[in-house]
Amino acid sequence: MRARRWVLTALAGVTGVAALGLYFAFMVSACPPEQASDIGHFGGPFTLVDDSGAPVSERTLAGKPYAIYFGYTFCPDVCPTTLLDLSRWIKTLGPDADKLNYVFVTVDPERDTAASMHTYLSSFDKHIRGFTGTPEQIAKIAKEYGVYYKKIPTDDGSYVMDHSAIVYLMGADGKFVTFIHYQEDDASAVAKLRSLAEAVPSS
Amino acid sequence: MRALFKFSSTSKLALIVVLFALTPAAFAQGGGTSTIAAEGPWARATPGGARTGAVYMTLANKTDASDRLTAASSDVAAEVQIHEMSVVNGIMKMRQLTDGLAIPARGSVTLKPGSYHVMLIGLKKPLTVGETFPLTLTFQKAGNISVTVQVKAMGAMQDNKSGGMGKMEMK
């Protein structure tokens, strides 16, 4: 029984790795070589606007590690849950929370304006900033972070979005450190954020 | 002329009321005649300006024949759909169940966060904790069933555990 469970787990693991491999192979082949993201190499330059309407780029985030999450405000379940989780983790971090930046990037730039993201984010921790841009600008940053997103039409002529539901943790140098997975337990997520914050010298 | 107009709109209203009373929907709502029980309908409070929300509950089929939730409607949203959500390999997928959601004979299906939900699209105003709102569920066999949805905290996970693991006082 135990052996069988082990075999099943191993099989699931191998399938997962294979699927991830295919996904990255697709991501890399879909990008021009100069923009290609290797495994474990996420991030890069971007030009967007924040939820106050001010222009932002990778330089805006430089000097502080950051947590970055991609979603959209029409999302009824995963996005508010993740933003609420992130708000709770920020609160747990206490004063260390200020050592990091927290960014929510929309994958639905057609509906998520700076103003609508600002209203939406008013329900979550004030550290979290919203970034939006043109569809092309969003496509570029999504590609750099290996974020998958796709518009799925619904009956009423509208659409929902499939998208990666992972929080990326990035160093102060803009280099990828680790992920926080969807519904990762609080202790593990806070430990990851705290270790990111502790890498920053106290001012 | 004005009085005549008033009279005619009143009779139209009366006609609508009579027609409504004659539909199977009216019978489905009456006490023990309902073949589907919609237990503990609840929704999460929505963030500021949010245009969508999700309603959860347990649907129990008390008959020997399977049934199907095919549609839903509510005054609080422009459009209501039945959706399935899943997260596979870190990717969130949401699909409209255009054929509805099957409720097996003598069985039940739980709509919950991370799984099936009744999706409210085009919310007329945000859902706030403590509020209730009406929702009409349409089943292939059981007809229409009206329920009252209770709005719980934004991070709530289940109807009987308001707040639960995600509870947090938000400003």
Q: Which residue of A has its CA nearest to B123?
A: A74
Determine contact, residues A68/A193, Cβ cutoff 8 Å.
no
Q: Rounded to an integer, what distance in angstroms lies between the CA atom of residue B84 and that of residue A5?
A: 28
Determine contact, residues A69/A167, Cβ cutoff 8 Å.
yes
Domain ranges of chain A: 1-30, 34-198
Q: Render each residue's pLDDT in chain A as its tens digit; 203 residues.
A: 556 666 666 656 555 555 555 554 444 433 333 334 445 679 999 999 999 999 999 999 989 999 999 999 998 888 899 999 999 999 999 999 999 999 999 999 999 999 999 999 999 999 999 999 999 999 999 999 999 999 999 888 889 999 999 999 999 999 999 999 988 999 999 999 999 999 877 65
| Predicted local confidence at residue A199, as pLDDT | 83
A203's CB contacts (< 8 A; 6+ apart) are: none
Q: Rounded to an integer, what distance in angstroms lies between the CA atom of residue A80 and that of residue A185?
A: 16
Determine, for residues B117 and A81 on separate chains, whether the beta-carbon distance falls below 8 Å: no
Taking the CA of residue B164 and the nearest CA in chain A, the distance in Å comes to 13
The CATH superfamily holding the domain A34-198 is Glutaredoxin (3.40.30.10)
Amino acid, single-letter form, for residue A118: H
Determine, for residues A74 and B155 on separate chains, whether the beta-carbon distance falls below 8 Å: no
Taking the CA of residue B14 and the nearest CA in chain A, the distance in Å comes to 31
Q: Rounded to an integer, what distance in angstroms lies between the CA atom of residue A185 and that of residue A85?
A: 9
Amino acid, single-letter form, for residue A61: L
Any CB–CB contact under 8 A between A81 and chain B? yes
| Predicted local confidence at residue B58, as pLDDT | 97
Average pLDDT value over all residues in chain B: 81
Amino acid, single-letter form, for residue A26: F
**Which residues lie across from A36 on neighbouring strands?**
none
Between B90 and A1, the higher pLDDT residue: B90
Determine contact, residues A102/A90, Cβ cutoff 8 Å.
yes
Determine, for residues A85 and B48 on separate chains, whether the beta-carbon distance falls below 8 Å: no
Residue A30's φ and ψ, nearest 5 degrees, are -80, -15
B113 contacts in chain A (CB < 8 Å): 77, 81
Query: Does the structure show a pLDDT above 50 at B167?
Result: no
In tens, the pLDDT along B6-28 reads 545 555 555 554 444 444 444 44
Query: Does the structure show a pLDDT above 50 at B154?
Result: yes
Determine, for residues A74 and B51 on separate chains, whether the beta-carbon distance falls below 8 Å: yes
Determine contact, residues B75/B133, Cβ cutoff 8 Å.
yes
Predicted TM-score (pTM) of this structure: 0.75
Q: What is the DSSP string of B49-115?
A: T--EEEEEEEEEE-SSS-EEEEEEE-TTEEEEEEEEEEEETTEEEEEE-TT-EEE-TT-EEEE-TTS
Determine contact, residues B116/B82, Cβ cutoff 8 Å.
yes
Q: Which of residues 9-38 of B touch A (CB under 8 A)?
A: none
| Predicted local confidence at residue A203, as pLDDT | 57
Any CB–CB contact under 8 A between A76 and chain B? yes
Q: Please return the burial class of A1, using the count of CB atoms within 10 Å of its CB with bins 0-12, 13-18 and 19+.
A: exposed
A179 contacts in chain B (CB < 8 Å): 90
| Predicted local confidence at residue B158, as pLDDT | 65
Determine, for residues A88 and B92 on separate chains, whether the beta-carbon distance falls below 8 Å: no
- Domains of chain B, first to last: 34-160 (2.60.40.1890)
